[in-house]
Amino acid sequence: MFCFQCEQTARGLGCTGCTGCAGVCGKTHDVANDQDDLIGALIGLSNAVKTPDSETDKLMLEALFTTVTNVNFNEETIKEMTSKIDSEAARYNISSLSHYDMKKLWNADEDIRSLKSLILFGIKGMAAYAYHAMVLGYTDTTVNEFFYKALRTIGEKGTMDELLPVVMETGKVNLACMELLDKANTESYGTPVPTTVPLTVEKGPFIVVSGHDLKDLKLLLEQTKDKGINVYTHGEMLPAHAYPLLKEYPQLKGNYGTAWQNQQKEFANIPAPVLFTTNCLMPVKPSYEDRVFTTEVVSYPELVHIGDDKDFAPVIQKALELGGYNEDTEFTGINGGKEVTTGFGHGTVLSVADKVVDAVKAGDIKHFFLVGGCDGARPGRNYYTEFVEKAPTDSIILTLACGKYRFNDLDLGTIDGLPRIMDMGQCNDAYSAIKVAVALADAFDCGVNELPLTMVLSWYEQKAVCILLTLLSLGIKNIYLGPTLPAFLSSNVLNYLVENFNISPTSTPEEDLKKILG
């Protein structure tokens, strides 16, 4: 196996090994190779089919999403998907589909490998967003067509000069994709409103829902109506509390646990089932394996999978069987806070834009930080907690994705009635941050790079890659990126990013704050 698509890759170089080995995430050698075959089949399909239809689009999104870190650990379902791609080719009268050999990519010249990896990992992340929009009935032809173009590009010979524009195009198309998902979510469930979310679990049966898929949560809320079962979000599902049409379910009570990398500890003893709608699933420990359920593209050997009929009866049954806690049970965030807030998407923030602009003009707000992205297991990620704690009291912290669990339970007070920490939502809600930044730049008649705004990002998996590419495609400079730089950036590609975008690796909160504010 060879895999270096995520931040926790072995030795900061790549997860490798032979039969019996596994990557740091727990993905086995066989699963890694099966995922490569799946991508190889997709590249073959992109070359062979000139005008794919919506069925093919759906399969392509599923296949890419399947290979995102912490989504699928199951050889059987990955192989099934590869066979589906071969059958799909047969539907277009292609009798034998040639698969691209991914070893050609992993063994390519390091700069070519680096640029193609940016494209491949970027479209994997983007596929997750396109998939969530698609299940809500929203698709975009330009976005879908780009996936095939990108896949073909990975399979072709290409120079750095030819590949760089496709890397930037990946970011540009991902902006359209995040916009599509924002539209899908807000038209389906309403515009998020600021919401306080308790971390206490009430007594009685409950279900924990993790991942990013709001539609699955909505279906589960429908099926748990009047059943005496409460529902708690976990990880990236937290922002669901802010959507008016989800909020109206009285059994949607609060949030359980923190970011994904703590799940093996946090799920070990809970008297409730957990449903994973997307990443990030970690290898499931025997102590709680009978309580974890998967759906959509998430797959793990031996776990009960809720299929397309979306009958959550096994999850509901398990919740009733386990019964929950006997008493209301108090949990806290990692800094001891008993509640968190969310719901500060572009709809909310822009509705108070004049207040924000006035506070800046009056000198009450001197700086905005976007501190967001993925959380992860590596040491060093407390950088983000310390950064937020040490940020000056006249600064506002915008945040998004699961990295916020490092500090979202801190009470940093308010400035002119505006909370100092504003959670904009899931990782895809980076779209909100971009909309707010562009609106502020308009209000102050300057470019986004001239605003008193700094992005301090944490990355882990491939959705962070497509978001970073979107920011670069918009010409956003001076981004701080940590906790480590991607292993798939060759030194020439990194130099290009530093020279053209002034990307800096994070150092220490004190030093970075000094540099930013100095």
Q: Is 360 in the site for ligand SF4 (CB under 6 A)?
A: no
Does 321 belong to an annotated binding site? no
- Which does residue 410 bind out of ligand FS2, ligand SF4, none, counting CB within 5 to 8 angstroms by kind? none
Choose, by CB under 6 A, the member of 37, 140, 236, 409 that binds ligand FS2: 236
Residue 402 interacts with which of ligand SF4, ligand FS2, none, CB < 5 to 8 Å by class: ligand FS2
> Biggest alpha carbon distance in the chain?
69
List, in order, residues 6 or more apart from 334 with CB less than 8 Å away.
258, 385, 405, 406, 409
Identify which range of 19-27, 337-345, 433-441, 495-503 contacts ligand SF4 by CB under 6 A: 19-27
Binding track, positions 260-279, relative to ligand FS2; x by CB under 6 A = x------------------x
Smallest distance, Å, CB 69 to ligand SF4?
4
Q: Rounded to whole angstroms, what are the CA distances from 400 to 80, 190, 505?
A: 34, 19, 19
Query: Could you say which DSSP state residue 209 is in?
Result: E
Cβ neighbours of 165 (radius 10 Å) = 11
**Of 5 and 263, which CB lies nearer to ligand SF4 in the complex structure?**
5
What CA–CA distance (Å, rounded) separates 228 from 300? 29
| Three-class HEC string of 71-110 | CECCHHHHHHHHHHHHHHHHHCCCCCCCCCCCHHHHCCCH
Among 9, 82, 170, 342, binds ligand SF4 (CB under 6 A): 9
Could you tell me if 82 and 34 are in contact, meaning their C-beta atoms sit under 8 angstroms apart?
Answer: yes
Q: Is 62 annotated as a binding residue?
A: no
Q: Which stretch binds ligand SF4 (CB under 6 A): 23-31, 38-46, 103-111, 490-498?
A: 23-31
Assess contact for 137 and 184: CB atoms under 8 A: yes
Among 24, 108, 441, 474, binds ligand SF4 (CB under 6 A): 24
Q: Is 15 in the site for ligand SF4 (CB under 6 A)?
A: yes
Tell me: is residue 25 an annotated ligand-binding position: yes
Cα–Cα distance list, 254 to 186, 248, 251, 317, 341 (Å): 21, 13, 9, 21, 11
Whole-number minimum distance, CB 402 to ligand FS2, in Å?
A: 3
Q: 397 in helix, strand or coil?
A: strand
DSSP assignment of 428-474, as one string? Answer: GGHHHHHHHHHHHHHHTTS-GGGSSEEEEEE--SHHHHHHHHHHHHT
208 binds ligand FS2 (CB under 6 A): no
Q: Is 374 in the site for ligand FS2 (CB under 6 A)?
A: yes
Q: In the bound complex, what is the minimum distance in angstroms from residue 175's beta carbon to ligand FS2?
A: 17
Nearer to ligand SF4, 28 or 348 (CB): 28
Interacting partner of 25 out of ligand FS2, ligand SF4, none (Cβ under 5 to 8 A depending on kind): ligand SF4
Q: 113 or 404, CB closer to ligand FS2?
A: 404
Applying CB under 6 A, among 401, 466, 468, 516 the residue interacting with ligand FS2 is 401
Instruction: Please identify, among the stretches 76-84, 170-178, 347-355, 457-465, the one whose residues bind ligand FS2 according to the rule CB under 6 A.
Output: 457-465
Residue 452 contacts residue 369 (beta carbons within 8 Å): no
Residue closer to ligand FS2 by CB (options 56, 69) is 69
Based on the shown chain and the rule CB under 6 A, indicate whether residue 483 belongs to the binding site for ligand SF4.
no
Our finding on whether 402 is near ligand FS2 (CB under 6 A) is yes
d(CA 366, CA 356): 11
Contact stretch for ligand FS2 (CB under 6 A) within 13-21, 303-311, 364-372, 460-468? 460-468
Among 460, 480, 488, 496, binds ligand FS2 (CB under 6 A): 460
Q: Is 15 annotated as a binding residue?
A: yes
Cα separation, 233 vs 230, whole angstroms: 10
Of the pair 242, 316, the CB lying nearest ligand FS2 is at: 242
With CA atoms as reference, report the closest residue to 463 among 241, 276, 281, 280. Answer: 280
Q: Which is nearer to ligand FS2, 300 or 460 (CB)?
A: 460
Q: Which CB sits closer to ligand SF4, 23 or 509?
A: 23
Tokens of 147: 């996936």
Q: What angle do CA 276, 282, 285 make, to 5 degrees?
A: 100
User: How near is the Cβ of 400 to ligand SF4 at its closest, in Å?
Assistant: 22
On the question of a cis peptide bond just before residue 280, with omega within 30 degrees of 0, the verdict is yes
Structure tokens belonging to residue 159: 């120079």
Alpha carbon distance 69, 13 (integer Å): 16
Exposure string (b/e) for 90-109, b if CB count within 10 Å is 16 or more? Answer: eeeebeebebbebeebbebe
* Range 197-236, binding ligand SF4 (CB under 6 A): none
Distance CA 109, CA 232 (A): 47
CA distance 483 to 505: 8
Positions in 48-77 near ligand SF4 (CB under 6 A)? 69
Q: What is the 3-state secondary structure (H, E, C) of 251-299?
A: CEEEECCCCHHHHHHHCCCCCCCEEECCCCCCCCCCCCHHHEEEECCCE
- If one asks whether residue 280 binds ligand FS2 (CB under 6 A), the answer comes out as yes
Residue 280's binding partner among ligand FS2, ligand SF4, none (Cβ under 5 to 8 angstroms by kind) is ligand FS2
Which residue is closest to ligand SF4 by CB?
A: 23
- Asked if 1 interacts with ligand FS2 (CB under 6 A), we say no
466 is in an annotated binding site: no
Binding residues: 3, 6, 15, 25, 212, 236, 280, 374, 402, 427, 461, 463
Chain residues binding ligand FS2 by CB under 6 A are: 235-236, 260, 279-280, 374, 401-402, 426-427, 460-461, 463
Binding residues for hybrid [4Fe-2O-2S] cluster: 212, 236, 280, 374, 402, 427, 461, 463
Binding residues for [4Fe-4S] cluster: 3, 6, 15, 25
